Structure 1
Amino acid sequence: MMEIRYELTEEDVVAFNVYHVKNSNIGRNSLRWQRLASPLIFLLFAYLLSIFTEIPAAPLLSTFTITAVIWVLFYPKYFYWHITRQVRKMLKEGKNEGLIGEHVLKMQKKGITDSTQNGETIVNWEAIKSFKEDIGHFYLYNSAISAYIIPKREVNADAVRNHLKKWLTL
């Protein structure tokens, strides 16, 4: 058995959500679609504006082309900033006492027990859909959109990784 104690912060939850969007097919497709479709709409608008008004096409197309290039270059940064902002808003508006705060995670032969001030959840290893990690966190996905978040700053990362690989059969 391994027991780890850690404090889960708002930053950890935001990091998970950004990681999830960056690494999910839906998140990547959404970013790709929004990044490329909007500039095409800008250029189409410029073309139609030049047809239906007296404004010459060259200045319109050059202005909207510059706008489109700026959009393609900077939209990903805005996209992830927007996700971060939305997650922070949701955390502030809802009751998240069991999410943010102190956690005691026990990893045993039968599964995981996560204890917080609000209660305890017990999950069998078979319920863990995938194990992912980034620079600062481990993510134990228990569904397509939620995971147990373990910040590496609070634990011995190699020991936790080895222990998880011992129990997980993904």
Structure 2
Amino acid sequence: ELSCNLLKKETFMEITYNLTEEDFLHFNMFHLKHSKSAIQSLNVQRFLTPVFFILMAFLLSKFGNIPFLELFIVFSITSILWIIFYPWYFYNTVTRRMKKMFKEGKNVGLLGEHVLTLNDEGMVESSVNGQIKVNWSGITDFKKDEQYFYLYNSSVSAYIIPKRDLNNSEEVENFLKGKVSTI
């Protein structure tokens, strides 16, 4: 539920939403796909590995007494498949590892119901673990996709607001853009 009350001196908005493991998985995939360092790492692994494949073809032909052309064809096909399918493998591996980490630890307060109260000074997030107050200066970036709003409080973590729980996501987006742009 979303309620927005306009007072003469202060504007505030209260958002109640539930976070699931899928929400965190989605955020981490969003972050990986938009992080310059993650994209760079993916591309290095994606395109540098085939160079090693071709180098292996050369070395095996030199020292293994196997015709270079045969090895080159095999390693070239392997390289092409690597380039095509490596991003899927990369993201799938990250997802599996994150699911495993969720099963390892206690996630009380991370998952479940959250209430986010936004006002002119900042926001207060309430969950079963208590409350966290953050001034707008503590929010470093505002990003969104089709399903979520992300209020980054560091380069690798954010407050995740699922749009599915909002009555009026445009109103929330306009409010957040106005506050985060003042940083």
Structures share a fold, TM > 0.5?
yes
Report the TM-score range of the alignment, normalised by the length of the smaller protein: over 0.9
Measured after TM superposition, the shift of residue 161 of structure 1 is 0.1
**Which stretch has the larger CA shift, 86-95 or 131-140?**
86-95
Matches for 1:3-82 after TM superposition, within 5 Å = 3-82=14-93
Amino acid at match of 1:163: F
For residue 112 of structure 1, give the secondary structure of its aligned residue in structure 2.
Answer: strand
Q: CA RMSD in A?
A: 0.9
d(CA) in 2 for partners of 1:48, 1:9:
50
Aligned residues between the structures: 170
d(CA) in 2 for partners of 1:46, 1:100:
49
Measured after TM superposition, the shift of residue 116 of structure 1 is 0.6
Q: Tell me which of 169, 172, 176 is aligned to 1:164.
A: 176
In structure 1, the partner of 2:113 is 102
TM-score, normalised via structure 1 length: 0.97
Consecutive aligned runs of 4 or more in structure 1 exceeding 6 Å deviation? none
Measured after TM superposition, the shift of residue 166 of structure 1 is 2.4
Q: Which runs of 5 or more residues in structure 2 are unaligned?
A: 1-11
**Which stretch has the larger CA shift, 64-73 or 92-101?**
92-101
Measured after TM superposition, the shift of residue 6 of structure 1 is 0.6
**Does 1 or 2 have the higher relative contact order (CA < 8 Å, sep 6+)?**
1
Percent of residue pairs identical: 51
